[in-house]
Amino acid sequence: MASTLGTAQAPPVAPVTRGETGRARGRRGGSYPYWFYLPAAVIFTVFFLIPTIASFYFSFTRWDLFTSTWIGLDNYKTFFEEQALVIGLRNTLIYATMTAGLKVVIGLLLAVLLTSKIIARGYLRSVIFFPVLVSTIGVGLTFTALMNPELGLINKALAVIGITGPDWLVDPQLAIFSIALVDVWAGVGLATVIFIAGIVSIPSDYYEAAQVDGASRFYSFLHITLPLARPAVATVVTLALIGGLRSFDLIWAMTGGGPGFASDTIGSVIYKQYQAGFYGLSTAGSVVLFLLVSAIIVPLTWWLNRHEVD
Amino acid sequence: MKNTRGIVIGLIAIAFTAVFFLVPFAFIFIIASKDVASANLLEFSWPEQFQLFENLKQALQARDYLLVIAFINSFILTIASVTGLVIFSALAAYIWQRRPSRLNPVISILVLAGLIVPPAVVPTIWVLQKIGLFKTMPGLILIEIAFGIPFCILLFRAFMSTVPRELDEAAIVDGAGPLQVFFRVIFPVLRSVIMTVIILQSVFVYNDFANPLYFLPGTQNATVQLTLFNYKSQFTTQYNLLFANILLVVIPALVMFIFFNRKIVEGMAAGSVKG
């Protein structure tokens, strides 16, 4: 308190704040009141923090929203033993790594292309980015039609060049990969614009110096663009992994987790168990997802940021 | 010579994007314009009988104008959530940036958690039910605000640090109260970032599927994303209407993009880097 008083002492100004003791005590504090946090804090606490914390308790119970019975680790056991749910876990990891990897590689290539001296850059950037804004359900339903094995445009186009297209969403082995491809189609635009922002911020002197030294384009890319666009790579990887691990909308719109449960992810398992009335099990799924996301994202962010400092 | 190279690569890129990105949208438009029989063949060919407007009309009228109700629901949800997000996040970001205190590291952690941690669905329903907001529009609006706040606070805070302190200090010396300083002096200066937040969050909330699915079930409550999903089973024998529906749902996003292309792209790039 004493120090606060000290800063507020500049005496002639104090009376202006109407002499109230509370005001005079900390002019700075009074002008930036803590209660401005209140609406955000209340909403965030009630609708995000409390449910998140409560999920840990309820995941150990059999629960019908009104009464809960403690059953220890049973829900988790089910989650890691039942074939249908284990597949969900595996698919989540496949889906997240595949979408993140492809978004980085394709996004980076597109960004390099769109920052080089070619025509129609504005148009190209818009076209690639637009799907980011389109409803995931709309994208999912459209591609479900396009990926239809007999009637779908994709397999018909492949047939023209003599390739027999696969049964994209019908083949249990393939379904999750097909959905991941659609996810990349819809999301690569965001990765591209993040990479473009990263590449544009690299000073052109570096490239000029490299050119003077007779470096090839590929060499410049490898030794200038790639290391200096590292923060952008970190951002894209983190975002894509978070999105991929949580994925639900697109899968639900395209296959509903099918055929059977071949393309289930944790996200769709949570919904299915909720629908079936297994609230405790569904919540255990939420906790597993929470732990999985934290276990991957937290060390990754730490690692990526550490290297940034070096 | 350098230019020819740029033109050639540009043309190749245009051809590629046409195949990969324009064809799917053209496909939506074409199927939405066909009659039932030919639409169900899913062929990428110009409709023999162009009936886009009848299809749109039929899609809107289906099930007692359910899609029209859904559009109204979606707009209410979007407008209310985005308004709340803008005001509450700006207020919090203002104090967070202007008044360093022991709370600051706590807030950083909470914001980070909010960005990373997937919401726990059933416990959220449990909370909503306890306070009587489950299956209500206000409940869903508060959910959208709660999930969107971390991202918006970060955007506001980053921008706030570029607003000179002298601005609020001058107003404070003039005897303005904290609310006056915020709404009369700070809020107007934030205009550009407010626009970014409004545009980005409108797109997110409007396109949101999972939250309305969980927290606002019931046919009369459906948002457009939900109707689209429900029509999936209903219209599998009427692809023209399904795609007319998709077209109608995509149009608001397209309109936003045409008007705010730059703002959206910059905002998303900036927002994700800060996130």
- How far is residue B262's CA from residue B221's CA, in Å, rounded to a whole number? 34
Q: Å from A175 to nearest chain B CA?
A: 18
The pLDDT of residue B36 is 85
The closest alpha carbon to B182, from A247, A35, A223, A299, belongs to A35
Classify residue A256 by its DSSP letter: T
Provide the CA A34 distance to its chain's centre, in angstroms.
31
Which residues contact residue A190 at a Cβ distance below 8 angstroms, ignoring those fewer than 6 apart? A129, A132, A239, B268, B272
User: Hey, are the CB atoms on A55 and B120 less than 8 Å from each other?
Assistant: yes
Complex ipTM over 0.85: yes
Q: Where are the alpha helices (DSSP H) in chain A?
A: 2-7, 21-25, 27-31, 38-44, 50-58, 74-81, 83-115, 121-129, 136-146, 153-160, 175-200, 204-212, 217-220, 226-228, 230-246, 249-254, 266-275, 279-309
pLDDT at A84: 82
Extract the tokens encoding B140.
């869903």
Token couple for B45 = 């060919």
pLDDT at A29 (0 to 100): 62
Tokens matching residue A29: 């504090």
What is d(CA A235, CA A178) in angstroms, rounded to the nearest whole number? 25
* Residues B80/A11, Cβ–Cβ less than 8 Å: no
A96-to-A174, A243, A262 alpha-carbon distances in Å: 15, 8, 16
Evaluate whether A290 touches A48 at the Cβ level (below 8 Å). Answer: no
HEC letters along chain B: CHHHHHHHHHHHHHHHHHHHHHHHHHHHHHHHCCCHHHHCCCCCCCCCCCCHHHHHHHHHHHHHHHHHHHHHHHHHHHHHHHHHHHHHHHHHHHHHHHCCCCHHHHHHHHHHHHHHCCCCHHHHHHHHHHCCCCCCHHHHHHHHHHHHHHHHHHHHHHHHCCCCHHHHHHHHHCCCCHHHHHHHHHHHHCHHHHHHHHHHHHHHHHHCCHHHHHHCCCHHHCCHHHHHHHHHHHCCCCHHHHHHHHHHHHHHHHHHHHHHHHHHHHHHHHHHHHC
Which chain A residues are Cβ-neighbours of B232 within 8 angstroms? Answer: 141, 253
Residue-level pLDDT at B2: 57
Q: How far apart are CA A99 and CA B114, in angstroms?
A: 22
User: What is the mean predicted confidence (pLDDT) over B236-246?
Assistant: 86
CA distance A179 to A95: 8
Whose CA is closest to A188, among A296, A114, A297, A264? A114
Which residues, 6+ apart, have CB-to-CB distance to A90 below 8 Å?
none
Q: A128, B17 in Cβ contact below 8 A?
A: yes
CB-CB under 8 Å, B41 with A151:
yes
Q: Which residue of A has its CA nearest to B214?
A: A271
Q: What's the whole-number mean pLDDT along residues B206-229? A: 90
Q: Residue A63 forms beta bridges with which residues?
A: A68
CA distance A255 to A176: 9
Nearest-CA residue of chain B relative to A195? B269
Distance CA A98, CA A200 (A): 27
Q: Rounded CA gap, A8 and A27, in Å?
A: 6
What is the tens place of the pLDDT at every residue in B24-35?
999 999 999 999
Nearest to B85 by CA among B230, B197, B193: B197
Higher pLDDT, B135 or B273: B135
Does B14 score more than 50 pLDDT? yes
Amino acid at B220: Q
Q: For B109-140, what is each residue's pLDDT tens digit?
A: 999 999 999 999 999 999 999 999 999 999 99
Confidence of residue B274 (pLDDT cuts 50, 70, 90): low
Least Cα distance to B235 among B220, B246, B221, B224 occurs for B246
Q: Of B74 and B45, which is predicted with more confidence? A: B74
Which CATH code for domain A65-309? 1.10.3720.10
* Residue of B95, B228, B242 lying closest to A37 (CB–CB): B95
- What's the pLDDT at A308? 53
Does the distance separating the beta carbons of B129 and A65 come in below 8 Å? Answer: yes
Find chain B residues with C-beta within 8 A of A42's C-beta: none
Encode chain A (310 residues) as per-residue pLDDT tens digits.
333 333 333 444 444 444 344 444 445 568 899 999 999 999 999 999 999 999 999 999 989 888 888 998 988 998 888 888 899 999 999 999 999 999 999 999 999 999 988 888 889 999 999 999 999 999 999 999 999 988 899 999 999 998 888 999 999 999 999 999 999 999 999 999 999 988 988 888 888 888 888 888 888 888 888 888 888 898 899 999 999 999 999 999 999 888 988 999 999 999 999 999 999 999 999 999 999 999 999 899 888 877 654 4
Tokens encoding A171: 């083949």
Query: Quick check: B48 pLDDT over 60?
Result: yes
- Fill in the amino acid letter for B165: R
Alpha-carbon gap, residue A284 to B109, rounded angstroms: 24
Closest CA–CA distance from residue B165 to any residue of chain A (Å) = 12
Q: Which of B196, B197, B186 is nearest to B162 (CA)?
A: B186
Residues of chain B positioned with their CB less than 8 A from the CB of A51: 119-120, 123-124, 126-127
Looking at residues B177-194, what average pLDDT do you find? Answer: 92
Query: Which residue in chain A has the smallest CA separation from B16?
Result: A124
Is-contact A220 A139, C-beta < 8 A?
no
Closest among A279, A276, A270 to A249, alpha carbons compared = A270
* C-beta atoms of B269 and A193 within 8 A: yes
Residue written as token pair 């209140």:
A38
* Domain locations in chain A as residue ranges: 65-309
